[in-house]
Chain A
Amino acid sequence: MLIKLTGGRVYDPAGGVDGVIKDIYIKDGRIIDKPAEANIEKEYDCRGKVVMSGAIDMHTHIGGGKGNIARTLLPEDHRQDPVARTDITRSGCGHAMPSTYVTGYRYAEMGYTAGFEPAVLPINARQAHMEMADIPILDKGGYVMLGSDDYFLRMLTAKKDQKAINDYVAWTIHSAKAIGVKVVNPGGINAFKFNQRKLDLDEQNSHYGVTPREILRVLATAVKELGISHPLHVHGCNLGVPGNMQTTLDTIQGIGGLPMHLTHIQFHSYGTEGDLKFSSGAAQIAEAVNRNKNITIDVGQVLFGQTVTASGDSMRQHANHKYASPNKWVVMDIECDAGCGVVPFKYKDQNFVNALQWAIGLETFLLVDDPWRIFLTTDHPNGAPFTSYPHLIRLLMDRTFRNDVLATIHPEAQKMTTLASITREYSLQEIAIMTRAGAAKLIGLKDRGGLTAGYCADITVYTDNANCQAMFEKPDYVFKDGELVVVDGKVVHTLWGTTHVVRPDFDPSVEKDLKSYFDRYLTMKLGNFKISDDEITEDGRGSLTVHPLRA
């Protein structure tokens, strides 16, 4: 079927188009050039409307064990937001940690067409993929977590060479069906199992004698040498600790120019100034990001209200359990592989720390110059549920609105932020970069995040509105692979997205030592650990899309 979107104002940073009135043609799920013979079968009048590609959330906890622990932990939260079935959609629950089906619907209803789970434990990757397989409409993918697994740390202690590390990393990416590599509190999750309660960048794991700095260097090198597009995805040391801004600056310096993505950097941008010994480090962090072109970041914005934090960082989550609200929490050590911690949080605008966290996130957004190197996230659900993105976009695009909200937060926090003096307002093109073109480029998604011919027809059409929260909350149309899935902010049709992966090369002999390790120390046979393609595709809904490596 040939579809035409007529007369919309197109924001397509990937194609170098910035607010130009343009027709878009779709055929067989792809965007095509204007056809010679226009047998348009379906035309959508987009005059007066804004057209962007489907949005991509490059860091959102939508699949895997800790998310399901968070769900199980919070029946009272689900009861606030029951979601009934319709003729075309399944029932479920929403709010902080929505059910999988509702996750897909609500993302699509905001114009998102892809989401990436950033913390796939190798041993829990099956679950991550099974959950994501039950998220309709969205494309998905995962970053596999390494750095606290005993196999890797044993390799470092044994001074294995970089080539051996690369083979192990590539093998793990294959086994777990991932598109990137993440490290969480490098070596710290492991150190917590040895009863260490903190681990600074240059502090040694008490058993292995290796430091987070070494782990980061080795993994970032592996990712680069394997040709994986997405730089090493780093959840740094000392999450949430006042003064961790210095750790973050040292981490940037310590990576020595290698590509590195620092995730939810808001939680790692804290100083120790002021009477309450908690201050914003956003300016220093933003300056370092601006100066170091090898660094990309996402923000992990905090927004006020009830949510739940679900993280692989068992060490820091255990330390933060005293802030649990409601007061219940889970910490797990997992399979000599990693760990997790789930702590419900209620961020309050009248709490000094929470209010300043809110301001630090916004300062970071506004002080980092290059929208291609910063991404819009709340670290769903950790800073806030993803459904708050339209509100966040308004805070970025509308200075008056931002300052109105700023005037309502804890007065001491107002004094500790420069937010009121920052005049920057994000443009639609900058929003499109952060949430579309930039995200696709960072992850290395071929044919996604743009609107030129040949791209997948993942398209969102909004009605321009001075209130950009209203605009981004309710797209007029969303197309996924050329099929109309949302009209006026409601799902009208569902389909199944693909799972994006990369497949870097490795020396198959890597399995020799791994097999022996699995037999001696783990609880599963190596052959049973590896996820096969048919586990993703056998139900007839799932598919795998392999993306190219960097040349």
Chain B
Amino acid sequence: MTVIIEVPSPFCGVGTDDLTIQVDGVTLKVTENGCAVNTPAFEQAIGDTSPRIAGKAVSLQEAVSKAASYLKDTKQPVIGGCATDVNGMRALLSLADRCGAVVDNMNFTAARNNFLALQDSGWMNTTLAEVKNRCDLLLVVGTDLESFAPRFFERYLWVQEAMFLDDTNQREVIYLGKAPSGIASTSPAGQQPKVVTCDNESLPEVVAVLRALVKGQPIRAEQVGGIAVSELQAIADKLKAAKYGVVTWAAGALGYTQGELTVQVLSEMIKDINRTTRCSGLPLAGKDGDQTANQACGWTTGYPARVRFARGYPEYDPYLYDTNLMLANGEADALVWVNAFNTKAVPPVSDLPTIVIGRSGMTFTQEPDVFIPVGTPGIDHAGHAYRTDNVVAIRLKKLRESGLPSTAEVLSAIEHALKET
């Protein structure tokens, strides 16, 4: 039995890297600094280690050959999931380039709210260490931050000391939209957050009014989405008075159509505030390899991870190349599902030839044509993953000797087999 310290997590999105994990053979136990997201993700037991073709155990080589034979004559396969490390994405993009596939990260529809805003008008954002040392006001919009990242407050707000704040207890937290599900946002001194709630569907109106107030535009209405305009005025005043305000949201939590407009209004509001003081956005993501997929796809193709290679070169369409739409519209002729992180995130059920490169332990309601269990980056092999703030890539450690291949090894082998045939 060994104990490994300072283990970085690819699961929580906020780059927790202080976990202590006890390794006993292939069994892991998080003994320090675990949380509701990380502990089960690390401790998930290994399931099958043998690849299967139509449910029958086969060798890795047979499974790879079979997968290649399914892909050989496809015109437009879809590679969905895309939840892996940087090397896994490199191999995935190389395979997609060769077989003219669509590449679609499973969280892209959520992330699209951010990308559409970014690509239309841009933003001013920050990263976690700046939050930790500078943030004197945190505005959380439409998101239950502590269920997203249970240790966010402990690690980045209620820290013992910050370089540029006399007392971290004095930080102010405001929730707009959703109320927090727990008490993580209450400061160690007992200061509770200010919570201003509204329905999710009212958020577009509410943030639009907030931005108008920040700009000093007159608002005739007395309330919006059930919130008194005077309450929003108070938030606007605090944002303008803060030295380093931070506005955070999870794009996936804005679960209404045209959520990108909410992101855009928030981002433009932040730009407005920066005319006189400092304020930054902090979009929350970094789960299921989403930032990793978007970064690697970004430098390889120029576009984030919803692209198609069918014409020989990458094309980006944030709507059309959605895995579920491609399947529903009969536009795909094979499905490759890649998820090395999450056994619960299984491929959509489909009549198409389905190849799953999945974390060992994944179970299916419909057995895929080919299943190749792989190791998890940061557990079974070393690798790289991106945090929510998109600047910091963390170096994932290998914790145990499971014998499971990496995503990169399997996808490269499939591409190699395709080349040979």
Contact = CB atoms under 8 A, between A and B. Distances in A.
A71 B298 contact: yes
A99 B311 CA distance: 17
Interface stretch (A237-245, A330-338, A408-416): A330-338
26 contacts: A65-B391, A72-B294, A72-B298, A72-B304, A73-B119, A82-B313, A90-B94, A90-B97, A90-B300, A99-B302, A100-B299, A100-B300, A124-B391, A124-B392, A126-B393, A150-B163, A328-B121, A331-B125, A332-B125, A332-B391, A335-B129, A521-B163, A523-B15, A524-B17, A528-B6, A528-B8
Interface stretch (B140-148, B153-161, B206-214): B153-161
A286 to B, nearest CB: 36
Interface string A525-542: 101100110110011000
B301 A126 contact: no
A18 interface: no
B132 A334 contact: no
The residue among B8, B97, B299, B390 with the most chain A CB atoms within 10 A of its own CB is: B299
Contact of A91 (B6, B155, B274, B313): B313
Contact of B162 (A93, A333, A521): A521
A85 B97 CA distance: 7
A121 B98 CA distance: 34
Given A65-B390, A328-B119, A193 B17 contact: no
Contacts, number: 191
Interface of A: 65, 67-68, 71-75, 78-79, 82-85, 90-93, 97-101, 121, 123-124, 126-127, 130-131, 134, 150, 192-195, 207, 318, 324, 327-337, 342, 520-525, 527-528, 531-532, 534-535, 538-539
B394 interface: yes
A318 B274 contact: yes
Main secondary structure of the interface of A (DSSP, over half): mixed
Contacts of B119: 72-75, 328
B303 A333 contact: no
Given A328-B120, A524-B394, A528-B394, A127 B133 contact: no
Contacts of B390: 65
B319 to A, nearest CB: 13
Counting contact residues on chain B (CB < 8 A from A), the size range is 35 or more
A251 B86 CA distance: 41
Contacts of B300: 90, 92, 99-101, 134
A126 B395 contact: yes
Given A328-B121, A525-B17, A123 B392 contact: yes
Contacts of A194: 278
Given A90-B300, A126-B395, A334-B126, 10 more contacts: A75-B303, A85-B309, A99-B299, A192-B278, A324-B122, A330-B124, A332-B391, A337-B129, A524-B392, A531-B395
B392 A335 contact: yes
B113 interface: no
A335 B309 contact: no
A405 B278 CA distance: 43
Interface in B349-407: 382, 384, 389-395
Contact of A525 (B18, B98, B312): B18
Given A75-B303, A90-B94, A528-B17, A333 B132 contact: no
B315 to A, nearest CB: 7
Interface of B: 6, 8, 15, 17-18, 86-87, 90, 94, 97-98, 115, 118-130, 132-134, 155-156, 160-164, 243-244, 274, 277-278, 280, 294-296, 298-304, 309, 311-316, 382, 384, 389-395
A91 B312 contact: yes
A110 B129 CA distance: 41
A116 B38 CA distance: 38
Contact of B313 (A92, A327, A337, A539): A92
A335 B127 contact: yes
A75 B304 CA distance: 9
Nearest to A126: B393
Contact of A334 (B94, B123, B127, B161): B127
Which of B98, B122, B126, B295 has most chain A Cβ within 10 Å?
B122
A65 B115 CA distance: 16
Nearest to A519: B18
Contacts of B155: 523
A68 B313 contact: no
Given A72-B119, A127-B295, A332-B126, A521 B314 contact: no
B158 to A, nearest CB: 14
A83 B313 contact: yes
A436 B17 CA distance: 43
A451 to B, nearest CB: 33
B123 A330 contact: yes
A130 B384 contact: yes
Q: Nearest 8 pairs between A and B by C-beta?
A: A93-B302, A84-B312, A82-B313, A78-B302, A328-B122, A335-B129, A126-B393, A84-B313
Contact residues of B: prevailing secondary structure? mixed
A79 B128 CA distance: 33
Given A85-B97, A130-B384, A520-B160, A92 B301 contact: yes
Contacts of A333: 125-127, 130, 134, 280
A124 B120 CA distance: 25
Contact of B316 (A65, A75, A83, A538): A75
B299 A85 contact: no
Nearest to B124: A331
A355 to B, nearest CB: 27
Contacts of A90: 94, 97, 300
A78 B303 contact: yes
A82 B126 contact: no
A192 B315 CA distance: 37
A329 B118 CA distance: 8
B299 A131 contact: yes
A100 B125 CA distance: 25
A245 to B, nearest CB: 29
Nearest to A332: B125
A73 B118 contact: yes
A91 B301 contact: yes
B314 A336 contact: no
B134 A193 contact: yes
Contacts of A334: 126-127, 130, 391
A131 B309 CA distance: 20
Nearest to A207: B164
B299 A521 contact: no
Contact of B6 (A65, A131, A324, A525): A525
Given A82-B314, A521-B133, A336 B299 contact: no
A130 B98 CA distance: 21
Contacts of B316: 75, 78
A197 to B, nearest CB: 10
Nearest to B115: A72
A255 to B, nearest CB: 29
A336 B278 CA distance: 15
Contacts of A532: 395
A72 to B, nearest CB: 5
A72 B391 contact: no
Contact of A336 (B129, B277, B296, B395): B129
A195 B280 CA distance: 12
Contacts of B391: 65, 121, 123-124, 127, 332, 334-335
A85 B313 contact: yes
Nearest to A123: B392
Contacts of A130: 86, 296, 299, 384, 393
Contacts of A72: 115, 118-119, 294, 298, 303-304
Nearest to A527: B6
A83 B128 CA distance: 36
Contacts of B394: 524, 528
A523 B132 contact: yes
A528 B18 CA distance: 10
A331 B270 CA distance: 11
Given A75-B316, A521-B163, A522-B129, A327 B121 contact: yes
A150 B394 CA distance: 21
A75 B302 contact: yes
